[in-house]
């Protein structure tokens, strides 16, 4: 009898395991958050963003196809928790955060401090730590109120724009996990992408500088090349160089760093940072076709090197003098080499006074030229 009861118990437990979790809730009955906006409005926290509600298709009664409908969310509160309570109180389904693609911080919120929200993302188990983080020029609500024609939602569009640009080395793509790691390591300065609305469309505008997780400066997209040469994983940037023969003729080059070395030293109680960058350059096209001699090639290599050097030097000067913020993270190079000295100095002060030497060398590897004097074949 006891043996028979034991066998029956095993069968019952097996049935529960085979049928799955008994508190399982169908995805159709969840609100799937795909993007979030956080802002400050009249001393209140404003949550906005987009939710995908999965519903059964009504085209055919016997079809099990699913259709997704994206709608906006909006709630307010004195704290994150209070704003979430108000949102939950008017929402018919529980929220699923695991599909969130991007969090957009409004400028007003970014100026106060974004670290509490980053910690919130880190603490909530269903948030992805690869969540893209950006700052918007316009209030976050205006970003999500924009009608999107180029993608299926505002959140997907922002993610796709930054993903596309970062793969080309023309932008940075920081996620929450990376930012939390930087903060935990004691790095008080970092950079986030900056977006805005231009001609009724969302556009990448450049970068914002965060110090102690507060927005302290904005860098226009046209001034970001010097930063990208040092911080982008695989920067592939375009440089326009005028011809010596004809100032109206511009050579357009694709420049790719092949070697990037940053070294720090400490001389007479002064920080010295040496940056060595080896570039390869490929000629994409020229405005007007003309022959290029070997001497002209050397001249173009020199011009590219000088232009890139000035771009990097200008970006570092802005960090040292204007913003007083080491968002290049030169600190890590110094700390590894001089750990004991690092513990005794005020790095922020030393960084603003540091001597920075930039050396750039360029090698032309592809001229992509057609002979302008070649005879045409008919």
How far apart are the two ends of the chain, measured CA to CA in Å?
100
pLDDT of 100: 87
Instruction: Give the class (CATH, top level) of 224-378.
Output: alpha beta
pLDDT of 28: 56
CB 215 within 8 A of CB 194: no
- Order of all β-strands in the sheet with 250-267: 237-242, 250-267, 270-286, 355-366
What is the distance between the alpha carbons of residues 151 and 199, in angstroms, rounded to a whole number?
17
With tokens 């700390």, the residue in question is 335
What is the distance between the alpha carbons of residues 162 and 143, in angstroms, rounded to a whole number?
15
- pLDDT tens profile 299-348: 999 999 999 999 999 999 999 999 999 999 999 999 999 999 999 999 99
pLDDT of 95: 75
Spell out the domain ranges in the chain: 9-220, 224-378
What is the distance between the alpha carbons of residues 206 and 331, in angstroms, rounded to a whole number?
24
- Please report, for residues 9, 25, 133, 144, 146, the alpha-carbon distance to residue 72 in angstroms, rounded to integers and kept in the order given: 49, 23, 19, 8, 11
307 CB neighbour count, 10 Å cutoff: 18
Question: Along the chain (378 residues), what's the average pLDDT of each consecutive run of 10 residues?
Answer: 47 43 52 89 90 61 50 87 80 77 95 91 80 95 88 90 94 91 86 96 96 96 96 92 86 93 94 97 89 87 96 97 96 94 94 97 76 41
pLDDT of 66: 41
pLDDT of 139: 95
The first and second tokens of residue 17, run together, are: 């395991």
- pLDDT tens profile 234-293: 899 999 999 888 878 899 999 999 999 999 999 999 999 999 999 999 998 889 888 888
pLDDT of 352: 96
What pTM, to 2 d.p., does this model score?
Answer: 0.84
């Amino acid at each position: 009898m006891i043996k028979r009861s034991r066998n029956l118990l095993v069968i019952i437990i097996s049935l529960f395991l085979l049928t799955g979790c008994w508190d399982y809730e169908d995805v159709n009955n969840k609100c799937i958050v795909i993007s979030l906006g956080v802002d400050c409005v009249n001393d209140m926290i404003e949550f906005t963003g987009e939710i995908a509600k999965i519903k059964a298709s009504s085209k055919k009664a016997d079809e099990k196809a699913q259709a997704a409908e994206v709608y906006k969310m909006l709630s307010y509160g004195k704290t994150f928790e209070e704003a979430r309570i108000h949102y939950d109180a008017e929402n018919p389904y529980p929220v699923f955060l695991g599909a969130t693609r991007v969090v957009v911080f409004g400028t007003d919120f970014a100026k106060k401090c974004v670290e509490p929200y980053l910690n919130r993302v880190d603490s909530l188990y269903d948030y992805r730590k690869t969540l893209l983080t950006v700052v918007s020029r316009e209030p976050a609500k205006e970003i999500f109120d924009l009608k999107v024609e180029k993608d299926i939602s505002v959140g997907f569009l922002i993610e796709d724009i930054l993903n596309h640009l970062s793969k080309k080395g023309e932008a940075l793509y920081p996620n929450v996990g990376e930012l939390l790691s930087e903060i935990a390591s004691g790095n008080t300065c970092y950079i986030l992408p900056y977006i805005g609305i231009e001609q009724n469309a969302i556009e990448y505008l450049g970068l914002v500088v965060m110090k102690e997780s507060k927005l302290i400066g904005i860098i226009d997209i046209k001034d970001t090349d010097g930063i990208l040469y040092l911080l982008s994983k695989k920067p592939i940037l375009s440089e326009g160089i005028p011809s010596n023969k004809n100032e109206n003729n511009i050579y357009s080059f694709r420049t790719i760093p092949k070697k990037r070395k940053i070294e720090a030293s400490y001389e007479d109680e002064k920080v010295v940072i040496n940056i060595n960058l080896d570039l390869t350059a490929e000629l994409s096209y020229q405005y007007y076709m003309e022959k290029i001699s070997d001497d002209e090639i050397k001249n173009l290599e020199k011009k590219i090197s000088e232009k890139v050097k000035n771009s990097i030097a200008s970006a570092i000067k802005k960090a040292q003098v204007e913003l007083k913020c080491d968002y290049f993270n030169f600190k890590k190079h110094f700390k590894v080499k001089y750990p004991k000295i690092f513990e005794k100095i005020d790095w922020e002060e030393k960084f603003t006074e540091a001597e920075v030497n930039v050396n750039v060398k360029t090698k032309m590897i592809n001229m992509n030229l057609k002979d302008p004097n070649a005879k045409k074949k008919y």
